[in-house]
Each structure stands twice: as structure tokens, then as C-alpha cells.
Amino acid sequence: MEKKKLSLPVQILVALFLGIVVGLICYFTDGASFTANYLKPFGTIFINLLKFIVVPIVVLSMIEGIVSMGDIKKVGSVGWKTVVYFLVTTAVACVIGFIFAVIFNNAGLFPALSLEEGVVWEKATSADFMTTLVDIFPTNMWTSFSSATMLQVIVISLFLGGGILAAGEKAKPFADWISSVYVVFEKITAFIITLSPIGVFTMIAWVVATQGTEILGSLALVLLCAYLAYIVHAVLVYSLSARLFANISPLEFFRKAGAAMIFAFTSTSSVATLPVSKQAAASLDCDEQVSSFVLPLGATVNMDGTAIYQCVATVFLASCCGIHLSFGQMAIIVVTATLASIGTAGVSGAGMIMLAMVLNQVGIPVDMIMIIYGIDRLFDMGRTSLNVAGDISCAVCVNRWEAKKAAKAAK
């Protein structure tokens, strides 16, 4: 009989456990130099591959996402209401994530690590709003790509995607080429993600060997911080939206959306949860035509859980580096995470790739990702469940708005 292969999440968890064990052994036997000289370089190779894939996958996935929304004009008001709802709730999710992260950080619950002697991380600097606004718009597309200036990369992607839609049929060959290249880079990304266990093992062993048991408690605290933000966002934003805009009580909303949220929690896939999400929306009296449009679109562009994760993880990793994020940089992260939500889904390991993008934007070393990569699956379960709850909340709200519009038109 053919042997069953361990799934990637299980491989990562095993690598995390082994890395902790090896790191602790090296820590207590003064073997930290071994992890730095012979293990960390392999983790650095993985990080380099992750950096390499960030810009192309963001550009291609965002263009693909925008082009896929080309039918929004046909569905009229349903389309723009859905997109606005998703963008607003994603921005609110970022703010909630930052609030919890700052509270935890100011309480001294996030660590400041010294990962290498003699290394001083570049401190964050703030810029005025108008300078930041001007810097968002690129002067040279290739310079923006090569320097991984991610807000500029996002703006370029938005212009290219919008240009394809505006050009119509004449742009179809270019759109097809983008789709083809995107598939290629998806495969490359999938291959890089399969190397995750190696990266997790080598980097976590190095971190534990240099920091000891302190870092393990910090990982538990950052998980707690993220899940508290998930819960608050679900209760305050989604159930409140359902109550105010669709006249559905919070208890009824969570009771009927619960099955989809649980399925998403275990599967960590918004797309795989779609059939259950549609049943949940139907039980909340959502019209099938509305849910058939909103829910698949939500599985593509609604990433509130990922936005919270990015904000919490960014503050945590900035603390690990001894970096103090300015208010201006926090605002940049909110804008980046919100706009990037258009292109996060459909890519294996998308949450980690988007986090690399955000870290690039504010000058935090991308290498720091490996501190939390081993527990990314635990983050992913909560953020996917939150994303699905947001899809259902949007569907019932848009459904009610369209019903009111139809009622007015009938008078």
C-alpha cells in the first residue's frame, strides 16, 4: 500500500517542534554558534525565495482579481456596495488589530530580541502625510518593482488592472497572458511554500538557541492578541452590521453562520467553505442571486482576518527588532493591507506572502517572519473563520439594501 504523506501544515508543526528541541539543546549546551553557522543559512535561502516571489505574485494576483471583477458593471449597485463593504471592514480590521497589538506591546508583552551581536535594526522614521501621499505614486515602474516599494507596486497593479478593463476586447490577449503568467508564478509559489518546513526548522532552532524559552511565551501571547482582535471584530463589526443594516440579531447571525465559520476554522479555506456559506446565507433569508455574487467575490477579496494578522504580526516583529512604529507608518500599513486584500486569495501561503509585503513597506527585515511562521496555521484557522463570517455578513447587508432599493423603485 502507498504510504500516506504528511500534509504541509503537519510537516510545519513537526519542523517547529524539532526546531524548538534542537534550539533548546543548543541553548543549554552553548551551541548557539552551530545554529547560526550551519542552520540559519538554509533559513536565509528560504527567506530569499520568499522575497523573490513577493512582487510578481502581488502584481499578478491583484491584476487577476481586478480583471475577474469585470462583470461588476453588469450587476450594478450590488458590485460597488460589496466592494465598498469589504474595503471598509478591512480598514476597520486593521485598526482593531493595531489597537490590540499596541496594548500588548505597551504592556511589555511583546519582546525585544537581540538576535545577532553587533546588529542594530534601522529605526522607524515618520513622514508627513503629503510626502507619504506623493511617494505612493511611482515615477518608474521597474524601480518600484526592484526596490519592492509595495504601495507603489499596488498602485501600478491597480492601474494595469483598470487599464485592461477599460481597453475591453482589445486587451484580452494581454489579460490572457497575465492569467497564464499568474498560473506559472502560482506553481513557483507552491514549490517555495513546500520548503517551509526546512525554513521553519532552521530559523526557529536559531532563534530559540539564541533566546531560550522567553520567545516561546511570546509566541503564545501574540496568538492570544490576534484571537482577541478576531473575536472583537466579529462581534462589533459583523454582527453589528447585520443588526443595523439587515435587522438580524447578533445571536441569530452567529447561530446560523456558525456552521460555515467552524468549517472554515478546520479547513482554513474560504473557497472550500463556499457551499456551507451559501447555506448559511440562505438560512438568513439572503437572495440566492445576491449570495452567488457576494460570497465568491468575498472569498477572493475579503481578507479581514488576514488584515488583523498582518497588523498584529507587524507590531510583534517590530518589537522583536526594537523598532518603534510611528503613527504614519501604522497608517501606511492600514492602507497597504486594505488595498492588498484585493489580491490575497487563491495563492497558497498568501497570508505569509502579504506579511512579507507589509514588512518590506515599513522597513522591518523580512527574515523576522520565521519567528512566527511555525504557528502560522494557528493564525490561519482563526483568520479564515473571520473572513467567512465577513462574507456572510456582507451578503445579508447587500441583500437588504437591494431589497429596499427595489421596494422604493416599485412605489
Q: What is the 3-state secondary structure (H, E, C) of the chain?
A: CCCCCCCHHHHHHHHHHHHHHHHHHHHHCCCHHHHHHHHHHHHHHHHHHHHHHHHHHHHHHHHHHHHHCCCHHHHCHHHHHHHHHHHHHHHHHHHHHHHHHHHHHHCCCCCCCCCCCCCCCCCCCCCCHHHHHHHHCCCCHHHHHHHCCHHHHHHHHHHHHHHHHHHHHHHHHHHHHHHHHHHHHHHHHHHHHHCHHHHHHHHHHHHHHHHCCHHHHHHHHHHHHHHHHHHHHHHHHHHHHHHHHHCCCHHHHHHHHHHHHHHHHHHCCCCCCHHHHHHHHHHCCCCHHHHHHHHHHHHHHCCHHHHHHHHHHHHHHHHHHCCCCCHHHHHHHHHHHHHHHHHCCCCCCHHHHHHHHHHHHHCCCHHHHHHHHCCHHHHHHHHHHHHHHHHHHHHHHHHHHHHHHHHHHHC
Q: Which of 68-82, 92-106, 311-325 has the highest mean pLDDT?
A: 92-106
Instruction: Please state which of the four CATH numbers 1.10.3860, 1.20.120, 1.10.3470, 3.30.390 is assigned to the domain occupying 8-113+120-405.
Output: 1.10.3860
pTM greater than the 0.75 cutoff = no
In this predicted structure, the answer to whether residue 267 has a pLDDT above a threshold of 70 is: no
Looking at residue 27, its pLDDT comes to 87
Domain ranges of the chain: 8-113+120-405
What are the tens digits of pLDDT across the range 197-256?
888 788 788 878 877 777 778 888 888 999 999 999 999 999 888 888 888 888 999 988
Q: Which of 5-19, 22-36, 347-361 has the highest mean pLDDT?
A: 22-36
What are the tens digits of pLDDT across the range 326-367?
777 777 777 777 766 655 544 445 566 677 777 877 778 777
Looking at residue 276, its pLDDT comes to 83
